[in-house]
Homo-oligomer: A and B are copies of this chain.
Amino acid sequence: MKLTSEQVEEIKDQQEQKNITKRVTSPDLERLLYEVIPILDHGFIRVVDYMGNDSSIVQAARVSYGKGTKKVSTDSGLIKYLMRHWHSTPFEMCEIKYHVKLPIFIARQWIRHRTANVNEYSARYSILDKEFYLPSEENLAAQSKSNRQGRGDVIEGEQAKKVLNLLKTDAERTYNNYEEMLNERYDGSVIEENKIGLARELARMNLTLNTYTQWYWKTDLLNLMNFLRLRADHHAQYEIRAYADAMLDTLKRWVPITYEAFMDYRVGGTEVSSKGKLIIQKLIKKENVTIEESGLSKREWNELMEAFNLKDKLI
């Protein structure tokens, strides 16, 4: 993670601000504001702005349900109720903005979450930094045999060395040729005087997908949770999960009550289908239940048993 001296200066300026506001604040998040949280080898996230806190959710819910919310006596009780019953709009009343540095192939996954606002560094205008993601050795996983989108065992020894070497060499060579075609180095220096360079919007096509990019990414709390639910999950690719995990920590600082409800009902929860409910019910009542009569496929059966940690029922 290389920050330019301008960026270091800017962050310092941002952190020294002491403004008076009548808006609600989130003191735990304020402490972290603008700070660089390193992710992977060269990436980072920084929280650069936010709006609202747990009380904003409660306030919005109370305007909606009016006197109807009086029965839920505490803020915590109300937020848990909203989460449990999938009330969405009160959680949209809070907003957060991140500055993120991330490899392009991860940016391509991330951008699929459409309900966010994005300003990305444009390689049509400017030269990208000379930084590429290279997995650490313990993350150099083989293709899973059983799961087409998953990872299997870690690749080790000579093969690992070779893979890392290929990734590094190819990224560097393509980057060097990118500079060559531009006739300009990443620091802005001209390579050969009196020679024209290829248009930036074309030259960038020579870069590999592990090149780092950066963006400002802003979203509301509801959509942040939708993002985290998918991307902090163990099915998500390790590299995006690394970002999601760090963002989970910012969520906890920002809206601690919501965070707790989110972990209980969303992240730690599970869904049971209509057929699954019948099976669970029979298991509780000690009635006989077999996969044959359940209507479930073997895969679905096992997913259900794993959700409730019933290892002895796996087939």
Residues of A within 8 A of B (CB): 14-15, 17-25, 30, 33-34, 49-52, 56, 59-61, 63-69, 71, 77, 80, 84, 89-90, 92-93, 95, 97, 99, 103-105, 107-108, 111-112, 114-115, 117-127, 133, 135, 140-144, 148-153, 155, 159, 163, 166-167, 170-171, 173-174, 177, 180-182, 188, 195-202, 204-210, 214-216, 218, 220, 237, 263-265, 267-277, 280-281, 283-284, 286, 297, 300, 303, 307-310
The answer to whether B153 and A196 have CB atoms under 8 Å apart is yes
Q: How far is the CB of A4 from chain B (nearest CB, A)?
A: 11
**Which 8 A-B residue pairings sit nearest by Cβ, starting from the closest?**
A268-B274, A66-B126, A68-B125, A92-B117, A51-B51, A205-B210, A68-B148, A142-B196
Instruction: Report if A269-B277 is in contact (Cβ < 8 Å); known contacts: A23-B33, A60-B119, A68-B148.
Output: yes
Which residues on B sit within 8 Å (CB–CB) of A199? 141-144, 150-152
17 A-B pairs with CB atoms under 8 Å apart are A18-B22, A20-B25, A23-B33, A59-B216, A60-B216, A65-B122, A66-B121, A71-B148, A89-B118, A111-B111, A135-B202, A140-B198, A151-B199, A163-B198, A166-B206, A171-B206, A206-B210
> B68, B93, B142: which contacts A218 (Cβ < 8 A)?
B93
Given contacts A50-B51, A63-B214, 10 further A-B contacts (CB under 8 A): A65-B126, A66-B126, A89-B118, A92-B218, A149-B200, A150-B199, A170-B173, A170-B177, A173-B173, A270-B272
Q: Complex formed: what's the CA distance from A80 to B141 in Å?
A: 29
Which residue of B has the minimal Cβ distance to A64? B119
Q: Complex formed: what's the CA distance from A105 to B24 in Å?
A: 32
Q: Complex formed: what's the CA distance from A14 to B60 in Å?
A: 15
The answer to whether B270 and A142 have CB atoms under 8 Å apart is no
Instruction: Report if A148-B125 is in contact (Cβ < 8 Å); known contacts: A97-B51, A143-B198, A206-B208.
Output: yes
Q: Which of A30, A34, A103, A174 gathers the greatest number of chain B CB atoms within 10 Å?
A: A174
> B18, B108, B277: which contacts A268 (Cβ < 8 A)?
B277
Which residues on B sit within 8 Å (CB–CB) of A63? 99, 119-121, 214-216
Which residue of B has the minimal Cβ distance to A66? B126
The answer to whether B49 and A24 have CB atoms under 8 Å apart is yes
The answer to whether B280 and A273 have CB atoms under 8 Å apart is no
The answer to whether A95 and B95 have CB atoms under 8 Å apart is yes
The answer to whether A269 and B264 have CB atoms under 8 Å apart is no
Which residue of B has the minimal Cβ distance to A77? B297
> B14, B56, B126: which contacts A67 (Cβ < 8 A)?
B126
Which residues on B sit within 8 Å (CB–CB) of A125? 64-69, 148-149
Which residue of B has the minimal Cβ distance to A146? B71
Which residue of B has the minimal Cβ distance to A59? B216
Q: Complex formed: what's the CA distance from A272 to B272 in Å?
A: 7
The answer to whether B112 and A124 have CB atoms under 8 Å apart is no
Q: Complex formed: what's the CA distance from A61 to B118 in Å?
A: 11
Which residue of B has the minimal Cβ distance to A214? B63
Which residues on B sit within 8 Å (CB–CB) of A177? 166, 170
